[in-house]
Structure 1
Amino acid sequence: MQVRTERRSNRDRTEATRAQLIAAARKLFAEKSYAEIGTPEIVALAGVTRGALYHHFADKQALFAAVAEAEAAAVATEIEQAAPDDLSPREALLAGSSAYLEAMQAPGRTRLLLLDGPAVLGRIGMDEIDDRHGNRTLREGLAMAMRAGALRKLPLAALTSLLAAAFDRAALAVDAGAPAAEQMEVITALIDGLMLPARP
């Protein structure tokens, strides 16, 4: 019993330290670019040693990847919460699109995921993260709409990739000051252009 408690306690401490590092890095990466942040700043804000950082992460890039993964997962969660199963395929796609734009307005998130992410992790590395999270939700929504006969049957991977790129451009535009309503108006027109006429 004592051994099991100690193991749980050690695991809890390990997870807490990792979470502290990710939270501190996220705060700093949101405020400045990746290149401007050094590991001494991160460990100071996290309240841990550099040894603790390198115990959990190979280097600053690996820590950034963990931050990007957590941010992408948070965006996907917001999309999924906004598009419950009882919505029609069109409503689900639009609700998810709107939730994406909203989620990307969290301070620093656009830079983390759309600017620094590809620059630090490479396009392939960032695409892998996207495919596990935001792009996964989009792909699932498009596939569901096709199965329901509500959306034109098109190559799913290509459609997901091209629509995701449009959403990312919209998020960047909103981050730069463009009205979110205008971006959503165009996204709605894109999605409606892919929808099939309702069956009689």
Structure 2
Amino acid sequence: MQQDSARRSNRDRTEATRAELIAAARRLFTQKSYAETSTPEIVTAAGVTRGALYHHFADKQALFAAVVEQEAAAVAGEIDRASPPSLGARDALLAGSDAYLAAMRVPGRTRLLLLDGPAVLGRAEMDAIDNRHGNRSLREGLVAAMRARSMTKLPAEALTALLAAAFDRAALAIEAGAPAEEYRAVLTALIDGLSRA
């Protein structure tokens, strides 16, 4: 019984240290950027040793990848909550697009996911992360709409990639001060343009 408790306690400490490192790194990466953040700053902000950092992550880039993965999962969670299967295909796509734009307004997200992410991790790794999270949600919505015959049948991967790029561009523009309602109107028109008459 004590062994199980000790194992649980060690696992809890390990998970807590990992979470502290990710949270501290996120704060610094969004305040300063990936390039301007040093590993000594991260361990100081997390209140852990440098050895603890390298126990959990091979290097700063691996820690950054964990931050990006967590942020991408959070965005996908918002999309999934906003577009349950009970909604019709079009309504689910529109609700998901609204949820994406709202989720991307969290301070630092556009920098992490749309600017530093591709620059630091490379396009292939960012695509893999996107495909596990936000693009997965979008692809599922598009496939559901095509199966329901409420949307023109097109290659799902290409359609997902192009619509995701439009959503990302909208998020960047809105963060820079563009009117969100204008971008929402265009995204709605894109989705409706794919719908069968």
TM range (shorter): over 0.9
- Find the residue that maps to 1:138 and give its secondary structure: helix
Match of 1:166 in 2: 166
Q: Distance in 2 between matches of 1:173 and 1:4?
A: 51
**1:30 Cα offset (Å):** 1.0
Determine whether 1:57 maps to 2:57.
Answer: yes
Instruction: Render the CA deviation track for 1:52-71: whole Å, top value 9, x for unaligned.
Output: 00000000000000000000
Q: State how far apart, in whole Å, the 1-side matches of 2:35 and 2:190 are.
A: 36
Deviations 1:156-200 (A, max 9, x none): 000000000010000110111111111100000000000012xxx
Structure-2 residue corresponding to 1:67: 67
Distance 1:195 1:32 in 2: 43
Distance 1:30 1:7 in 2: 34
Aligned-pair CA distance for 1:32: 1.3
Other structure's SS at 2:138 match = helix
Distance 1:80 1:18 in 2: 26
| 1:11 matched to 2:11 | yes
SS of the aligned residue for 1:34 comes to coil
Query: 1:69 and 1:170 mapped to 2: Cα distance?
Result: 21
Q: Paired residue for 1:182?
A: 182
Q: For residue 68 of structure 2, give the secondary structure of its aligned residue in structure 1.
A: helix
Question: 2: distance between equivalents of 1:175 and 1:55?
Answer: 36
Please, what TM-score do these two structures have when normalized by structure 1?
A: 0.98
Amino acid paired to 1:175: E
**Alpha-carbon distance in 2 for matches of 1:125, 1:105:** 23
The correspondence of residues 74-89 of structure 1 with structure 2, limited to 5 A, is: 74-89=74-89
Distance in 2, Cα, partners of 1:182 & 1:92: 20
* Whole-Å separation in 2 of the counterparts to 1:37 and 1:72: 21
Distance in 1 (alpha carbons) for counterparts of 2:68 and 2:183:
24
Aligned to 1:31: 31
Identity %: 74
CA distance in 2, matches of 1:169, 1:181: 14
Shift of 1:109: 0.4
> Matches of residues 84-163 of structure 1 in structure 2 within 5 Å?
84-163=84-163
In the alignment, the residues of structure 2 paired with residue 85 and residue 141 of structure 1 have an alpha-carbon distance, to the nearest angstrom, of 9
Give, in whole Å, the separation in 2 of the partners of 1:60 and 1:111.
17
User: Could you tell me the TM-score, scaled by structure 2's length?
Assistant: 0.99
Q: Which runs of 5+ in 1 are unaligned?
A: none
Deviation sequence 1:132-177 (CA, Å, 0-9, x none): 0000000000000111111110000000000000100001101111
- Could you report, residue by residue, the CA deviation over 1:31-68 in whole angstroms, capped at 9, with x for unpaired residues? 11110000111111100001000000000000000000
3-state DSSP class of the match of 2:122?
helix
Unmatched 5+ stretches in structure 2: none
Counterpart residue type for residue 143 of structure 2: A
Question: How many residue pairs were aligned?
Answer: 197
The whole-number CA distance in structure 2 between the counterparts of 1:88 and 1:125 is 32
* Partner SS for 1:48: coil
Report the Cα offset of residue 84 of structure 1.
Answer: 1.3
Q: For the residues of structure 2 that align with 1:23 and 1:181, how far apart are their CA atoms?
A: 32
CA–CA separation in structure 1 for the residues paired with 2:106 and 2:92: 22
